[in-house]
């Protein structure tokens, strides 16, 4: 029974440390540049650099851009 508790604590620490490491690595300047925008038509989230822009609106595809015109 005590071994199970130790394993549970070990797993918990593993998850917490894993999350902390991931979070500290999560915000390099590159990721800020890769801004997410939302398609005005279907609300899909896409990278700003891959999105099609029409005025101040973004679209995931040419079809949605044209549908909304």
Contact with Zn ion (CB under 5 A) among 51, 58, 64, 65:
64
- Judged by CB under 5 A, the number of residues near Zn ion is 6
CB 58 within 8 A of CB 46: yes
- According to the binding rule CB under 5 A, does residue 39 interact with Zn ion? yes
Contact with Zn ion (CB under 5 A) among 38, 41, 54, 57:
41
Beta-carbon neighbour count of residue 12 at 10 Å?
10
CB nearer to Zn ion: pick between 37 and 39: 39
Cα 25 from Cα 41, distance rounded (Å): 33
């Amino acid at each position: 029974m005590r071994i199970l508790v130790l394993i549970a604590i070990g797993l918990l620490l593993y998850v917490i440390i894993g999350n902390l490491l991931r979070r500290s690595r999560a915000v390099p300047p590159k990721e800020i540049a890769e801004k997410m925008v939302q398609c005005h038509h279907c609300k899909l989230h896409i990278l700003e650099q891959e999105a099609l822009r029409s005025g101040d609106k973004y679209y995931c595809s040419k079809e949605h851009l044209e549908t909304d015109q």
